[in-house]
Structure formats: structure tokens, C-alpha cells
Structure 1
Amino acid sequence: MIPDLKSLWTFGLVFACHVLVISAGDSVPVLLWGGDGETSPPEPVNPLYKTSRVDFEKILNRKLGKSLPPLLVFVRDSFCNEDITQNKENLKKIKNAGTIYLPAVESPMSVFESLSSYNLTMDDDLESVADNQLALVQATDLDTVPEIYSSMRESSPNLIAALTGRSCIYSRSERVRRAAAENETSLFFNSSSGEVLFYASQKPFIKMADDKDFVQLTKLSEASYADRKNRTTILGLIFTTPDGSKLTFKFNFTLIYGYYRLINLEYSTTSDVNHTGEILLTSRDRISVPRNFSYHCSQKTIFRNGSIILNFTDLQIQLDARGSFGDTYNCIGFTSIPIWTGIFVTAILALIMIWGLTMIMDIRTMDRFDDPKGKTITISALE
């Protein structure tokens, strides 16, 4: 069975994005329909490849047959698959069993114009097309194509029509492959030995005692760390503000029973006119991480002391790394809710089984039986 126009349009639109690449220049789509509907269909055409001029000539001759029916060709100066996509709803009005859709044909107009057995006519006001006549109609508006074809078919039932163009001119957007730009807002520190790693997805925000809004510290001027007897590690970050002053943050970690714990965070600034020295900032979250794990517990880590607030986003720290972060410790206990649920259900089933076994063990058998050769057991009414 020959597929109808709707199925051909659906098939063509599925490969539209692939066809657009090959439909530039003199390769244009061709829609061929009409006739008595009894002609055998051509061989299947792969929509991903361009149909050559010779192959299209064979397809057209097979469609026309030996009877040389009237041929009506709608021509556009520029015709691409985008035009078909944009006008698919209107072109669906064309229904014919012998419809052929070729998404990319090499110079189809040269094939139509070289039909020696046809008389070429170029008139936009034709009322009918006779046999052995080829009529070229300028299709400035695709909405009128179904109407013109319907009116022509009334006088010529075996009319064959085609819709194509002389070229395909469109601006194709090129995909440029570029290297990913570095994220200048992130904060990352890696010691020379690769042992201490510090990361935050954004530079820290700080709110001073006299400020109303948070200010982002964008310039990290110095970062260092010191390891004291493998027990205490001090990580220092020095930021430079726009006014030239320096803000120093010292993270004091101590190894206790296999856990690195942040004891305190010392904050100081060179612009402190009162010379109050270092200020200890504390966090509500307990920053503690097992050895060989990286700390990454919350999206925002806040340190404060009165009106001074320091905010880190996606903070991740590891003090015994080997050049890269290890497994993350997200402050989730090893006994999670599903584990507790399994233990609870197992305990209930165990209690039911123990109760059942106890009931079975408490069953007692008879210890007295009736002897058929001896005296029968008689139970009086008083007993």
C-alpha cells in the first residue's frame, strides 16, 4: 500500500534537523504528487543523503509513465525544508496516494526543464493544463498551492504536481566549540603537597559590625597551612579588600580520636583601628570529619561572633588528601532511617517467631492410655 501524504510528512519532519545540513546550495526539497494513483512507487530514498540529478530523473520518469500526463510545477526562488515545516498544516490539505517526498535533490529544476517530450509553459494565470504540457507557476505563497492544484485537477484528473525551488538560501547557525571559562567566583586552595584541600563554590561573604549588607571577598591574596606534630593543622586565608586592608582567617583543626575537628576560626584585619586582635568566630554546625574523608555537610556554613558574620557556600575541606578529594562526609550517621526500619521489622518478626516456638514447646501429650485387655476406666458422675 502506498503511504499517504500525512505519513510522509511525519517521516520527513523527524529527520528535519539532519536534512537541514545537506539541503544548502542547489540541493532543495521536492514534493511530487498527483496522477491516477496507480503508478508503482519508486525505490525508498534515504532522507539523510542527497538525491542526485540522475536518480531524480529516474524517479520523475517513473512517476510520469508513458502516457505523459499534464505536469504542474510550483517553483520558488528559495525553497528549503524550513518552508515545509512552517507550512505543514496547510500542505496537509494535499491528499494523494502517490505522493513522493525527497528532502534534498540536486538541481531538480534542470530536470523539469529538460523534459523534451513536454511543452513548457510559464504562466501564473493558467486555468488548465493539457497532456504533454509542463506548466511552471511561481509559488510566492505556499498557502495557495492546495487551492490552485484542486482547481486544476477538476479539468485534468490525471494532473501531476510538484513543489520545489531553484536553490535553498538560509542562514545556518554554526556551533562553535569553546573551552569552558574558569569559574572566577569559586574559591579553591591546594597545598604544594596536595595534602590540604579547601573549596567553596563562591568566594566568602562577610558582614562587618558596622555594615548593613554582606560584602563578597573576591581577591584571595595568600593561602597557607601549618602542621604541628600531626595533631593540629592551621589553614590560613588572607583576602584583600578594595580599600587595601587585609582580612585574615585561620582555621584551627585538631585530630581527636581519628576525627579532624574545627576548634575555632580566628578572624583579624589590618584596618582594625581599635587593635582588638584576633576574633574567634564559631559555627552552629559541628565541623568534624573522619580521617581520609572530606567535610561537605551543608550548602551554607556560617561563622559568627556578634554582628560579624562570615558565610561560605558549598564548603568542602580535607586535611589528609592525596591530590584530590576523597569520599565526602555529609554528616549523615551510618545508621540511617531505612536501616532502623529494617531492624524494627526484623525485631517484630523475631518476637512473633519466639512466641510461636514457646507455644509449640508448651504443648503436652497424654500420659495415660486405655488398656483394651484390662479393666475399663470408669468415671463416676461424682468425679
Structure 2
Amino acid sequence: MAAGTFFLSLSVLLVLGAPWRAASSQQVPVLLWSSESSLWTSQPSAHGGHVTTDLQLGQYLDAALSNGPRNVLLFLQEKLSIEDFTAFGGVYGNKQDNVFPNLENIMESSPSSLVLPAVDWYAANILPTYLKEKLGVSPLHVDQSTLLELRLNETIPSLLVVRLPYANSAGIVATKDILRANDEVIGQVLSTLKSEGVPYTALLTALRPSWVNKENDFAAVGTFGRQLLATATPTPTYPPVSHNGTGNVPCILFWASNITVFMGREMDLTNLTFRGSEDIAKDSFCNGSSATLVLKYDNENVRIVFQMERSWYPVSGRFWFTLNSVEVFNGTVNATFLAPQVNAPSIYSYRCEYVSTMAKYGPLLVRNTSETSPSSNWHLTITDFQIQAFNMTSVRFSYASDCAGFFSPGIWMGLITTLLFVFILTYGLHMVMSLKTMDRFDDPKGPSISVPQTE
């Protein structure tokens, strides 16, 4: 995007926003700018409904990292949506209520700038990992005071991450105050870099969207007919855990809505897995025939290891992958669970509502041996489990092979009820067709029909 077109972009988005706003609950904006000119020759699609994929985002970033400065600054906000700019920015012409004066001035004055209004949330969430691999350096989390102590070099790449909060309160005033404070932080950090004469490329995005489509948010509906829908638990939105193989291509993907381990006490590891350290799966391994996903929780002294294998099955004429075992470690003590039923064609991912050692969930994880150690009382339950370890080209699951059988209890009930009604209808038609007319009828003008009775 050429410099000076930030306001025009947001105005266009307001006009074209209706088609993509309905799906905004799954997308976040990404703003890019640089002190180097002419970094982005191609522009994002301007039609309503366009969503930037991870591959398209990678193309824009590759152009900036190969031709632009090697000092990258990532402003990672907790929540953000394009509606924040249209509601609290200056696109309506009200400069007094604009909470993004520094950001808009930066976007207008930067030699190169780009606005991607709708980016898939998983693509934005893996930005730290993607930039780490491209630059070959680990991300450094900084604030304004820390930045003053750093001495950046033009020839040495660096990846600086600035975390920005978002208002937990639903009030507009609180949201505006937080966004205004974040805008001031952005302005101060960039002023520091400018004063030191350090060339840079900066990005602003978020972990998840801040605005939810009200038409699909049943919990916000106050009518009596939809109150029951408000009790449904919303599906969490965060990217899957991924591990890259050769060529920085993802080779293992894992996602779940809940991970609970019981080791004398119950531990919920969901946030540590998907919203904790970005290197949680760094010890994983994968190749063409086997894969090992290692989830390491240093703070809890816990490791969960998924062992997968890809094999050729002549009967089906295709490759299948199998989850051979799941191992849970707590220090030197471990428990091993076999998962013979967790398998799928290697071109698919595998999904199941529950993968657990608990009998009430239909245990797919079976203890390997009759252990007498403390680990014999350990349990692992993973909700909305989905995993894939082969035949991937991006951070996106392939078609899922679900563990649920085709003939579920509901289907069986429907089939039995239908067969019962068909039987009743058939029997009724048979009875009607079996009726026969009488050979003689009672004539009122003639003698009555007498029926002799025998004793």
C-alpha cells in the first residue's frame, strides 16, 4: 500500500465490510510498515469477503524480510479487530475521539505500509515462530525501558516482540483507554528506534479478534426462545501446535479444546499448550515414516509424548498413520498408554471428541502394562482431539477422519422408529387388502336373510 492511503483503506473497508464482517470472529487484522521504501509491489485483494491465508501472508513477509531491514518489531496485542479502527479511529472524521493518532501518522508517513484487514487467526498466531525461522534468531520480549538499553545493528537480524493488552471490561471507555495507551506505546517505541537511526520493519496484529459477530452470538440474544443456546460452551479460538520439518514445512499439527492430566492432582494444561511458550513442541521429531510430538511443560515438570507411525496397508491400497502410544512423564516416573483405535489414512487428520483413559469417555487410551507405581492412577483426557503428522503443506488440517461411527445412537433410534412405522403401515395395508365383500346383502323389500343356528 502506498504511503498516505491508510485513511482511504479503512474507508473502503467500511463500504466493503458487510460481506466479511459476518466471519470476523475468525480473523484479525495485520498492519505492516517499514523504514525501507517499495517493499510491497503487490497489493491485497480489495473485494469484500477476501481473507488473507497463511501462504499469502508469507508472501508479503518474504518480500519484506528479503528486501527490507533485518530488524523486525512485532506488536502483538491480546485482542484486535478491524472494527476497533473503524469505531475508535479517525475514519469518521472525528479527530478528537481518535485513539490511534500515532499509528495512523506512522502508516501515512512510512515509506512502505500495508493493511491486511482480514487474516486467518492461525496465520497471525504463528507469526513469532515464522519470523524466528526466517530471521534465524529467537524473539526477544521488550518494553520501552528495555529497548533503551539495546544496541541494534543493521547487519545483525533481531526480532523484538512487544506485548500489548486489551480491555477485559466490555465498557467502551475502558476499551478506548487501553487502545489509546497501546497507541502511545507504539509511538514511543518507534520514536526510540528513529532517534537511534535503526532501520526496521514493524507489524501489528493480535492473538484473537476483539469483536464478535452479534448475529451468530446466541449468548447475547435476550429472547426467551434462545436462552438455552446461551449455555453452550463456545469453541476456543487459538492456532494448533505445530512443528516444522525439513524446509520449514509443518509436519505435525495438534489441536484440542482441553487437555487435563491427573497425577494425584488435576492439572489443566490447555493454556500452557496453546497460549504459553511458542517452543513447547521444540523437541518433536518427524520424517516420512514416523513422527513424535513432544509437549514439554517445564513449569509443571510434565511431558506428554505422542508416538505416530505411517505404514502401507495392502488391503486398502493406501498409507495409514497410527498413534502407537501416548506417554506421560512426571520427572522420572512415566505412564504409557496404547491407542490402537486412533488411526486414519495418512492424507487425513484424525479427530475425536474425547481421547481419554477414563471409561466414561469410551477409553481410546489403554494402559500398556499393569503398573504398580504411582503412575497406575494417572489419567489423561483430551477434548476435541485432532492431530495430523503426514502429508501437510501448510498450517492447516486436512480432511478429518472422525472417530464417531456412522451408526450413532441417534441414527439407530431413527432407523428403528422408521422400521416400526413401516411395519405398522405394511400390516395395515395388508389387512385392508384382505377384506372381502359379502356374497348376499339384507334387502329391506324382500324377506330377511335368516341365519340358521345350530345347537
Shorter-chain TM band:
0.3 to 0.5
Q: TM-score, normalised by structure 1?
A: 0.41
In the superposition, the TM-score normalised over structure 2's length comes to 0.35
Query: Going by fraction, where is helix more abundant, 1 or 2?
Result: 2
Query: Over alpha carbons, which structure has the higher Rg?
Result: 1
